[in-house]
Amino acid sequence: METFDRPPNEVWLPPLRSPARPAERDEPSVTYYDQPMIKPPHWKWYIPAYFWLGGIAGGAATIGAAARLFGGPVAKRDTVRHARYLSLALAIICPIFLILDLGRPERFFRMFRVVKVSSPLSIGTWILSAFGLASGALAVRQAVEDSVVIPRESGLGRLLRRLIPDAPLSALQGILGLGLGGYTGVLIAVTAIPLWAAGGIFLGPLFLATALASGAAALTLLSVAFGKRDPESERARGTVETVEAISAATQLALVGARDLTTPSRINQPLRVGFWGRVFRIGAVGGGMATPLTLRIVARLLGPRATKVISVIAAVLTLLGALAERFTIVEAGKVSSRDPLAYQDLTAGAPGEARPTAREQALHAPQASAHRPRIAASDTAFDSIR
Partner 1 sequence: MTTGFFTDTTLCIGCKACEVACKQWNQLPGDDYTFTGASYDNTKALGATTWRHVAFVEQFDRKTPQMGATAIGERMRANGNAETNGNHGAPPIDLMAIRNGARGADTSTAVAPRVVHEQSGGLLGDHRWLMMSDVCKHCQNAGCLEACPTGAIIRNEFGDVYVQPDICNGCGYCVIACPFGVINIHEEDGRAWKCTLCYDRQKVGMEPACAKACPTQSIQFGEIEELRDRARARVGQLHTRGITDAYLYGVDEHTSVGDLNAFFLLVDKPAVYNLPEQPRVPQAQVIPGYIATAVTAVALGVATAAAFLLRARVSDQNR
Find the binding residues for partner 1 in span 277-316 (CB under 8 A): none
Which 210-229 positions form the footprint of partner 1 (CB under 8 A)? 212
Minimum CB–partner distance for residue 337 and partner 1 (Å) = 11
Does residue 341 belong to the site contacting partner 1 (CB under 8 A)? no
Does residue 185 belong to the site contacting partner 1 (CB under 8 A)? yes
The 2-21 site mask, x for binding partner 1 (CB under 8 A), equals: xxx-----------------
Q: Tally the C-alpha atoms within 13 A of residue 30's C-alpha that lie toward its C-beta.
A: 5
Choices 116-124, 132-140, 162-170, 293-301; region in contact with partner 1 by CB under 8 A: 116-124
Choices 153-161, 196-204, 222-230, 297-305; region in contact with partner 1 by CB under 8 A: 196-204
What is the torsional sign of CA 126, 190, 279, 245?
positive
Minimum CB–partner distance for residue 160 and partner 1 (Å) = 26
What is the CA angle 251-136-147, rounded to 5? 115
Does residue 37 belong to the site contacting partner 1 (CB under 8 A)? yes
Spatial separation of the C-alpha atoms in residues 364 and 263, rounded to whole Å:
38
Q: Which residues contact 219 (CB under 8 A, 6 or more apart)?
A: 60, 63, 64, 79, 82, 83, 86, 240
Contact pick of 48, 54, 132, 182 for partner 1 (by CB under 8 A)? 182
Does residue 104 belong to the site contacting partner 1 (CB under 8 A)? yes
Between 71 and 269, name the residue whose CB sits nearer to partner 1: 71
Between 62 and 327, name the residue whose CB sits nearer to partner 1: 62
Contact pick of 120, 227, 282, 320 for partner 1 (by CB under 8 A)? 120
Spatial separation of the C-alpha atoms in residues 61 and 91, rounded to whole Å:
10
Between 103 and 155, name the residue whose CB sits nearer to partner 1: 103
Give the other-Cβ count within 10 Å of 199's Cβ. 21
Which residue type does 300 have? L
Between 162 and 370, name the residue whose CB sits nearer to partner 1: 370
Region for residue 164 given its phi and psi (left: phi exceeds 0; alpha: psi -120 to 50; beta: otherwise): beta
Spatial separation of the C-alpha atoms in residues 283 and 34, rounded to whole Å:
30
Does residue 75 belong to the site contacting partner 1 (CB under 8 A)? yes
**347 contacts 21 by C-beta, under 8 angstroms:** yes
The 134-173 site mask, x for binding partner 1 (CB under 8 A), equals: ----------------------------------------
Spatial separation of the C-alpha atoms in residues 342 and 352, rounded to whole Å:
17
